[in-house]
Structure 1
Amino acid sequence: MPNLSAELSTVVVVGSGIAGASAAQTLRSEGFRGRVVLIGDEPALPYRRPTVSKDFLSGATAAEKTTLKPDSFWEEREIELITGATAVGLDTGRKRLTLSSGETLQFSALLLATGGKARRLDGVSGANVFTLRSMADADSLRASIRRTGSLLVIGGGLIGCEVAATARSLGAEVTVLERDPSLLSRIVPPEVSTMIASLHAENDVDVCTDVALSSLDVSDDGSARAVADDGRSWNAGTVLVSVGTVPEVTLAVAAGLRVHNGITVDGQFRTSADGVYAAGDAANIPGARDDERYRSEHWNGAQAQGIAAAQSILGKPTPFTDVPWGWSNQYGHTVQFAGATRFDDDYVIRGSIADRDFTAVAVREGMPVGVIAVGRPKDLRTVRTMIARGGAVDRAALADESVALTDVLAGEREGRVAAAR
């Protein structure tokens, strides 16, 4: 494919999260000399969003410590950073973007890195009812937790569990309500879910599963009462609704782009409109298999996608084989995960889940597809490489801790080479 950078005069990036920020930086590092505009709907400089439910929410990290780069970084690289602005109109034919301020921008190429937004519960609102996506959300949530001293978390996913742990560090009484039989039940096996639940129980968090809420009412003083179908009820001063995210596709839909669980893109992050690309939480991208598509909602995956999308914009596409990964900090334990894990996968376990020192590799059709690890970052990196390379794995060697994972990887590679001869 020809290098397109000579044909580009202006690249506009909508979304200043890690996908958009990484794309803007990559355009410059790859030698693009045209105009680069990075637009963010928050007033802050681009920042590290994972801190929102962790150190920033607890108050341990100040806002200025969360920024990706200082203001001078963007100025020195001549990246025009527009903050506190929302893109409200997109004309793909004329290649024109309209901002909430009324300003219009002409572009040669546009990257939509609009991210996701918190899913809400119908009819549930109130002064002390929150969702969590931004630093502003975290500021308000922290203040309410400190003021009321109690928190009810609706949803036992990663964010819900992290906020529960953070709220305990703030001294609050915490209850987690999960509709499924166990925490994180859609992505981790029962044994890992049990381990995470035990962590919370040891730290005096009341974890309630199989909860089908019939009502959640907020009184005039802001306190909340949740009632389940089976009659159980809970009260708290603050409520966090943490029931997942949805891709932010409002602009894409209005512009007529192809959308299905995110903005549909090809392997080069191109949308259905010429010159328009998408990456990060808002993008639905091709998976490793022809019939697979997915949306990554993890920081590192969005970063890799932003870099790859910028390279495609410049006419320098490379095969995208990144295996998304992320992490969660809870009570001093770091849970890392990568790939596409499901609760019903066949898992090969190295180490001890009970001792909170293990690597659990999800295997489908003989191939590793995902991994969950606690206290074993090197294992996670090695298994990510296995997943990216594909192919069958020796289950016995994978489970045998006397065999290093790097040796399992080397043996897998040698087996493929021998088979090809």
Structure 2
Amino acid sequence: MAEQGFVIVGAGLAGAKAAEALRAQGFTGRVTLIGDEPDRPYERPPLSKDFLAGKAERDSVFVHEEGWYSEHDVDLRLGATATAIDRDNHVVRLDGGETVGYDKLLLATGSSPRHPPIPGADAEGVHYLRRLGDSAKLKATLTAGTRLAVIGAGWIGLEVAAAAREAGAEVTVLEVAELPLLAVLGREVATVFADLHRARGVDLRLGVHVKAITTDEGKATGVRLDDGTEVAADAVLVAVGAAPNVELAQAAGLAVDNGVVVDSSLRTTDPDIFAAGDIASAQHPLFGKHVRVEHWANALNQPAVAAAAMAGQEATYDELPYFYTDQYDLGMEYHGHVDPGAYDRVVFRGDVEAREFIAFWLRDGHVLAGMNVNVWDVGDQLKALIRAEGPVDADRLADPNAPLEP
């Protein structure tokens, strides 16, 4: 019998962790890891956090040491783009014309920043943050006195705004919603982040609509709003969300609906193809529906489940969604999942004004999610509260002297 070959398309954190998991779980067949970037797999959170802020060196972002892939017999192919999947012949086609055969295939193609259809969006001096080179280029612009305009007050936009302010740049953040992170956190908690950035000198403009990025001889000079207001800038960051890279899967005829549709073992509608990370819309046992999360924890944890399932083992991904942020002196962790407007109450425990608190999102007395701000080592308790079958006592949640338990 021919040696089994597993192929991973996407050499980011999810792809690298899948290769690691396959070897750690005892798979001895061929492992090919294909990525279209020139750099070996790296983690993306530092690109808007410590690396961008100059608190971490470039080498610290990589998932493995340079020699790890050869030492573990992983065929790492960088600068190679997968252009098609031939499901009938179990082959992945690359842009150079080469084909790579597979017994099992994992798609970990991640996501890409959205480009708004506005004039000037591709001008010189307009930045989109996704890759290591993007972060390095943006980092070079964040100096004292630089005027940075940030379009979008999501996690990336706010983290970059914080790094820019700490570097001495003048920052204007432009957001169409009434508050930053409104769809993610709701009004009660989104206000905390609005207050935080304004207190640090960010010109936060909410409820505004961007009409164009102004240019002079092809270089960005600022942003024009639909009311005619112009915001002068030396650099512009566009951070209006990301779209999952599902084109390869879609062209191959796999089910796609807000990402590549997979079951709880991360298997697609083709039993020999799996998906993990940003692109995976995975059936979640706790929520009873498909959930897609564009955060580091999925890319870190899903690959071990996918690797086990690829090797024929029973495996289920049931981790709760998790993400974190660091902005100025605010550190935060979030566990759980809340669809926009799906909660009926937010309970705070601690001092919100001092930004040392835990927030709980509830529906019918059940905890949907919990966020700890500058309060640490409570992750296990928050997850237990979310997984609790019955409703909780909201008054006990709010009492800092009461045990943090269901």
TM-score by length of 2: 0.94
Give 1:250's aligned residue. Answer: 247
Segments of structure 2 that go 5 or more residues without pairing to the other structure are none
Q: Which segment is superposed worse, 152-161 or 121-130?
A: 121-130
Aligned equivalent of 1:64, options 39, 59, 65: 59
Distance 1:147 1:399 in 2: 42
Give 1:372's aligned residue. Answer: 371
**Superposition pairs for residues 147-186 of structure 1, below 5 Å?**
149-186=146-183
Q: Counterpart of 1:138 in structure 2: which amino acid?
A: S
The Cα of 1:221 is off from its aligned counterpart by 6.1
Give 2:32's aligned residue. Answer: 37
SS in 2 for 1:122: coil
Structure 1 residues 329 and 404, CA gap change in structure 2 (3 angstroms): same
Give 2:393's aligned residue. Answer: 394
Contact 2:222 2:235 in 1 (8 A): no
Q: Counterpart of 1:49 in structure 2: which amino acid?
A: R
Structure 1 residues 393 and 252, CA gap change in structure 2 (3 angstroms): same
Q: Counterpart of 1:140 in structure 2: which amino acid?
A: K
Give 1:133's aligned residue. Answer: 130
Give 1:316's aligned residue. Answer: 313
Aligned sequence identity (%): 36
Please tell me whether residue 79 in structure 1 is matched to residue 78 in structure 2. Answer: no
Deviations 1:229-268 (A, max 9, x none): 3343311110111000100011111111111111111111
Aligned equivalent of 1:335, options 332, 336, 339: 332
Distance 2:94 2:310 in 1: 22
Segments of structure 1 that go 5 or more residues without pairing to the other structure are 1-5, 410-421
Give 1:349's aligned residue. Answer: 348
- Count the aligned residue pairs: 402
Distance 1:35 1:88 in 2: 21
Q: Pairwise CA RMSD of aligned residues? A: 1.9
Please tell me whether residue 239 in structure 1 is matched to residue 220 in structure 2. Answer: no
**Structure 1 stretches of at least 4 aligned residues deviating more than 6 Å after TM superposition:** none
The Cα of 1:343 is off from its aligned counterpart by 5.9
Contact 1:92 1:274 in 2 (8 A): no
The Cα of 1:401 is off from its aligned counterpart by 1.5
The Cα of 1:291 is off from its aligned counterpart by 5.3
Distance 1:289 1:187 in 2: 20
**Superposition pairs for residues 145-224 of structure 1, below 5 Å?**
145-146=142-143, 149-220=146-217, 222-224=219-221
Aligned equivalent of 2:282, options 262, 271, 285: 285
The Cα of 1:389 is off from its aligned counterpart by 4.8
Give 1:23's aligned residue. Answer: 18
The Cα of 1:147 is off from its aligned counterpart by 9.4
Q: 1 or 2, which has the higher helix percentage? A: 1
Distance 2:366 2:403 in 1: 18
Structure 1 residues 348 and 313, CA gap change in structure 2 (3 angstroms): same
Distance 1:217 1:62 in 2: 34
Contact 1:17 1:113 in 2 (8 A): yes
